[in-house]
């Protein structure tokens, strides 16, 4: 097992992460080869091994339990009879996480875009969200070397380790990997609610309310009750008390779950408010389940708002995303008590969410946690977001809200800039936007920020345009009220 560096250990302390070094499958956080070199070496190794006879799959010896955080350890590990070459992916034990390599940690260039042809496609930058991050070379290497066992039977060491690792980081008993944040949120709601009648309180701007295809109603039979914060920033205990139904009056649907989101539109939900709402909710009879959509909780913690365990202690269930700012290609996790996770696992199977060789995605997720979050890349992203906000303001632009983490909200209406005009100006410079919402991630380069500055110059110097409307609602207003489109 690799001992983490002192720097990593100190960052874990700052982020409120305690004992996370006790797992056999702790991966090595590495500086990997340049992506092009990596691909070339991978092709060469694959080509050189193509003449070798295929390895026969053999039943390995039973191995002792290594992960005890609410997860089964594989009683059988199918492994190739030979351990050399790319066919050794299923080799059990710590060798499955031997990610050692050399050179710098350059990200794999993005191979996807929804943009029309840009002047220079090789310099395309996408800023509408942090879901456009591409897997790094270290993530792809982790995928190459992961275990390939069956997660439906909880036999995959790579996946079991990731679930236990994140659960331990957050002070919870167990974790459950899911393919998306939406699945994580809806599974959590469905698991927490025993049966109708019940209602769910949520921020009117939240993802779980407005951007998950009505899942609260269709999947859980619950009534979603949207709340607009009085302070226009985040929900407080006063907001919750005003809308919660705790009486036995049969005319009303009782509140059984409160869903909060952190971060929401890039803004931080203060730890103090989480604690106050949690204390009140759990004091009710029956206690109200507290759920956190923590898709970007990593960002709030990196900004110094509180530790992971401190935030997660306020909630009975939490979902956290690996595929946004952390850069993994896919996946989220539910963390909660062991009985809650076991019930969620059962429901996940019924909804078609059971995964077979899950290691090919969970290996990358583990790299995202260690390399991006604990590697302190998110704080640098926040600095870059503030720089972009400063550039816009120095050029005469205004913001619709403060830049607290990785999102910058440009007030296009105040600048007399239409959403369509801003998007078109971005296309000319090879930068993609969704209106005035600019989301920064750690793979955005300094050169891309320069191109963004030229877009700002172009739109601010153009004649003012009328704000666009749709069904009588300004587009930018719609975006601010419901920003989480991923």
Residue range 86-104, pLDDT digits in tens? 333 333 333 222 323 333 3
pLDDT at 182: 86
Q: Is position 253 within any domain?
A: yes
DSSP state of 59: E
State the virtual CA torsion across 169, 174, 179, 181 in degrees, nearest 10: -60
The whole-angstrom separation of Cα 293 and Cα 303 is: 17
pLDDT bucket at 464, cuts 50 / 70 / 90: low
Q: Are residues 318 and 201 in the same domain?
A: yes
Q: Are residues 448 and 400 in the same domain?
A: yes
pLDDT at 350: 86
Can you read off the two tokens belonging to residue 149? 């066992």
State the virtual CA torsion across 47, 53, 56, 60 in degrees, nearest 10: -60
pLDDT at 194: 80
Q: Are residues 425 and 352 in the same domain?
A: no
Encode pLDDT of 197-209 as tens digits: 899 999 999 999 9
Q: Is position 384 within any domain?
A: yes
Residue 308 has pLDDT above 90, yes or no: yes
Domain boundary among 344, 373, 402: 373
| Average pLDDT along the chain | 77
CATH of the domain at 396: 3.90.1150.10
User: What would you measure as the largest C-alpha separation in the chain, in angstroms?
Assistant: 74
pLDDT at 8: 52
Q: 3-state class of 318 per DSSP? A: strand
Q: Is position 48 within any domain?
A: no
Examine residue 263 and say whether the peptide bond preceding it is cis (omega within 30 degrees of 0): yes
Q: Are residues 466 and 336 in the same domain?
A: no
Q: Are residues 317 and 447 in the same domain?
A: no
Q: Are residues 314 and 456 in the same domain?
A: no
pLDDT at 135: 83
Q: Are residues 176 and 281 in the same domain?
A: yes
Residue 37 has pLDDT above 90, yes or no: no
Q: Are residues 342 and 219 in the same domain?
A: yes
Q: Which residues pair with 332 in a beta bridge?
A: 178, 321
- Section 220-231 average pLDDT: 94
pLDDT at 473: 42
The whole-angstrom separation of Cα 59 and Cα 78 is: 5
pLDDT at 307: 97
Domain boundary among 349, 373, 397: 373
pLDDT at 294: 97
- Section 16-39 average pLDDT: 39
- Section 423-433 average pLDDT: 90
Residue 33 has pLDDT above 70, yes or no: no
Can you read off the two tokens belonging to residue 265? 């539109």
The answer to whether 211 and 483 are in contact (CB under 8 A) is no
Residue 47 has pLDDT above 60, yes or no: no
Total domains in the chain come to 2
pLDDT at 15: 64
Encode pLDDT of 363-407 as tens digits: 999 999 999 999 999 999 999 999 999 999 999 999 999 999 999
Is the sign of the CA dihedral 233, 235, 241, 246 positive or negative?
Answer: positive
Distances, alpha carbon 485 to alpha carbons 187, 208, 295, 427, in Å = 19, 11, 12, 20
Q: Is position 150 within any domain?
A: no
User: Domain span at residue 190?
Assistant: 157-373
The whole-angstrom separation of Cα 267 and Cα 304 is: 13
Q: Is position 261 within any domain?
A: yes
Q: Are residues 323 and 187 in the same domain?
A: yes
More reliable by pLDDT, 157 or 465: 157
Q: Is position 216 within any domain?
A: yes
Q: Are residues 433 and 360 in the same domain?
A: no
pLDDT at 432: 87
Q: How far is CA 39 from the centre of its chain?
A: 26
Q: Are residues 365 and 383 in the same domain?
A: no
Q: Which residues pair with 408 in a beta bridge?
A: 438
Q: Is position 238 within any domain?
A: yes
HSE-up (13 A, CA, CB side) for residue 41: 14
Q: Cα 91–92–93 angle (5° rounding)?
A: 125
* Burial class for 322, CB neighbours closer than 10 Å (0-12, 13-18, 19+): buried
Domain boundary among 352, 373, 394: 373
Please state whether beta strands 407-409 and 332-336 pair in parallel, antiparallel, or not at all (unpaired): unpaired
Q: 3-state class of 209 per DSSP? A: helix
Distances, alpha carbon 360 to alpha carbons 38, 144, 372, 394, 460, in Å = 18, 8, 18, 45, 46
The whole-angstrom separation of Cα 363 and Cα 27 is: 9
Return the top range by mean pLDDT from 60-64, 209-213, 243-247.
243-247
Can you read off the two tokens belonging to residue 248? 């036995």
Residue 440 has pLDDT above 60, yes or no: yes
- Section 406-425 average pLDDT: 94
CATH of the domain at 360: 3.40.640.10
Q: Is position 88 within any domain?
A: no
pLDDT at 125: 60
Q: Are residues 362 and 393 in the same domain?
A: no
Encode pLDDT of 327-340 as tens digits: 999 999 999 999 99
pLDDT at 348: 93
pLDDT bucket at 434, cuts 50 / 70 / 90: confident
């Amino acid at each position: 097992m690799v001992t983490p560096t002192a720097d990593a250990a100190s960052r874990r302390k700052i982020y409120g992460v305690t004992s996370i070094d006790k797992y056999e499958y702790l991966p090595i956080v590495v500086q990997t080869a340049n992506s092009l070199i990596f691909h070339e070496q991978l092709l060469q190794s694959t080509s050189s091994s193509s003449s070798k006879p295929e390895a026969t799959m053999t039943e390995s010896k039973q191995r002792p339990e290594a992960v005890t955080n609410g997860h089964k350890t594989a009683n059988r590990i199918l492994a190739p009879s030979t351990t050399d070459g790319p066919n050794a992916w299923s080799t059990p034990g710590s060798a499955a996480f031997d990610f050692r390599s050399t050179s710098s940690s350059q990200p794999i260039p993005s191979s996807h875009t929804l943009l029309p042809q840009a002047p220079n496609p090789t310099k395309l930058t996408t800023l509408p969200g942090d879901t456009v991050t591409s897997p790094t070379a270290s993530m792809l290497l982790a995928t190459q070397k992961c275990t390939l066992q069956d997660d439906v039977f909880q036999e995959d060491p790579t996946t079991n380790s990731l679930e236990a690792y994140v659960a331990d980081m957050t002070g919870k008993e167990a974790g459950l990997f899911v393919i998306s944040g939406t699945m994580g949120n809806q599974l959590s709601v469905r698991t927490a609610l025993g049966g109708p009648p019940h209602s769910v309180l949520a921020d009117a701007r939240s993802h779980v309310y407005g951007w998950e295809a009505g899942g609260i109603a269709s999947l859980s039979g619950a009534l979603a009750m949207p709340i607009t914060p009085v302070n226009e920033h985040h929900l407080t205990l006063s907001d919750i008390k005003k809308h919660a139904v705790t009486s036995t009056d049969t005319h009303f649907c009782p509140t059984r779950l409160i869903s909060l989101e952190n971060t929401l539109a890039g803004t931080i939900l203060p730890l103090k408010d989480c604690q106050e709402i949690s204390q009140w909710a759990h004091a009710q009879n029956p206690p109200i389940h507290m759920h956190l959509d923590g898709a970007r909780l990593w960002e709030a913690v990196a900004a110094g708002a509180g530790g992971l365990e401190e935030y997660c202690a306020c909630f009975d269930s939490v979902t956290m995303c690996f595929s946004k700012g952390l850069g993994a290609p896919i996946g989220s996790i539910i963390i909660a008590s062991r009985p809650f996770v076991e019930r969620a696992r059962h429901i996940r199977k019924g909804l078609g969410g059971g995964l077979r060789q899950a290691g090919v995605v969970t290996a990358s997720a583990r790299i995202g946690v260690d390399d991006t979050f604990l590697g302190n890349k998110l704080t640098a992203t926040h600095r870059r977001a503030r720089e972009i906000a400063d550039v816009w303001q120095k050029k005469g632009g205004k913001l619709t809200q403060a830049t607290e983490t990785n999102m910058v909200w440009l007030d296009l209406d105040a600048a007399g800039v239409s959403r369509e005009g801003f998007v078109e100006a971005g296309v000319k410079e090879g930068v993609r936007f969704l209106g005035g919402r600019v989301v920064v991630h750690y793979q955005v380069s300094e050169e891309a920020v320069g191109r963004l500055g030229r877009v700002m110059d172009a739109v601010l110097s153009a004649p003012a345009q009328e704000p666009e409307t749709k069904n009588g609602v300004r587009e930018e207003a719609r975006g601010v009220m419901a920003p989480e489109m991923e």
